[in-house]
Amino acid sequence: MIEFFSGLVAVLMWLPFSFLALVQGVYLNVFDRDVYLAQVSEPGIVFSFKQAELLGLNPREVFLNLLDELKPGYLRVIAYWDRIESEKDRYNFSELDFQLIEAEKRKIKTTLVVGEKVPRWPECHYPNWFSGLDSQAEKQKQTTEYLELLINRYENTLGLELWQLENEPFLDFGECPKVDTDFFKQKLSLLKGLSSKPVMVTASGELDSWLRAFVYGDQIGFSIYRRFFVSLPKFRFGLDYPLPPRFYKIKSEFFRIFFKKPVMVTEFQLEPWLQKTLKDASLEDQFKELSFEKFGRQVDYAQKTGIKRIYFWGSEWWWYLKQNNHPEFLDYVRKNIFLL
């Protein structure tokens, strides 16, 4: 029930913050164009080994190519439990070790997403053996043991700037158990007890009030997805959220001033969202949802939010397009976001 009310409050916030954002946007456009058209000063990328593989790519090669071509100062990588502990009590950290070592070599500040719910569908990436555990108590015990192992392994990684505990933990999305706030607080307490690094908690930019994220997190991240979908029995169609770009800045400043905690965008959508996987969709279908022209408008929207740090979502897709004779998307990101 609390998730419903949080979503309702979030939608009710659209009107006042959008009005203030429009007023501020008009003022800046007229009187301070340099601020209105400012670049994102701390751009970063999100990278998923799973997504790269889903697109038929070699994730290690793509990862290195993206780091060297875009030279991001900030990186967000993901600990997938089903890949780290595919067999109970047998661990494989090679993927995460590789990403963190290569990022450290390049002096990139890295955020590591840990927990049960992490980015990319189905959101909760449990190993196969997890569902066979006898009780909820045993599942929670295994979860905390896995989390403790991750924290102890990576706490002293030089390039690790932030932990992110769960991904939008209070949003009902994905194939995940019902939100358990008490267990989330237990995991948060464990993480803070074992690590001196700040812990980020994230929320949906459009469908969450952000209040719980600000209460629990040392730093707060939120996503920006420009599109949402209405599904009816016979068809499905997409619409853009009716939110001006500086809506997110006004809302984040309101909370930041009250809680005195840093805020950033942890996912800004720069890939199409389809009913099927990108690998199974034709390029024509992909471009219907996110053409090159729309892609450019998305980047422009991100820059007009006025938010200092933004992690862009879709880096694997940009490289996939480059491999399929459409390098213009990656080139646009490189020139207009990373200024290279």
Domain ranges in the chain? 2-336
pLDDT value at residue 227? 86
What sign for the dihedral angle of Cα 196, 100, 278, 289?
positive
pLDDT at 276: 87
Residue 288 pLDDT: 94
Q: Is 253 exposed, middle or buried (0-12, 13-18, 19+ CB in 10 A)?
A: middle
Query: Which residue from 297, 288, 300 is spatially nearest to 337, judged by alpha carbons?
Result: 300
Tell me which residue has tokens 């800045």: 249
CA distances for 268 relative to 272, 296, 313, angstroms: 12, 13, 5
Domain 2-336 has CATH 1.10.10.10: no
Which of 313, 265, 277, 292 lies closest to 119 in space, CA to CA? 313
pLDDT tens-digit profile, the chain (340 residues): 677 677 788 889 999 999 999 998 888 887 877 777 678 999 999 999 999 999 999 999 999 999 999 999 999 999 999 999 999 999 999 999 999 999 999 999 999 999 999 999 999 999 999 999 999 999 999 999 999 999 999 999 999 999 999 999 999 999 999 999 999 999 999 999 999 999 999 999 999 999 999 999 999 999 999 987 766 677 777 788 999 999 999 999 999 999 999 999 999 999 999 888 999 999 999 999 999 999 999 999 999 999 999 999 999 999 999 999 999 999 999 999 999 8
Tally of CB atoms within 10 A around 331: 14
> Per-residue DSSP letters for 294-319?
HHHHHHHHHHHT--SEEEEE-HHHHH
> Cβ contacts of residue 338 below 8 Å, gap of 6+?
43, 70, 71, 72
pLDDT of residue 239: 81
- DSSP code, position 218: S
Task: Please tell me the predicted confidence (pLDDT) of residue 166.
Answer: 98
**Which structure tokens are listed for 84?**
């780290």
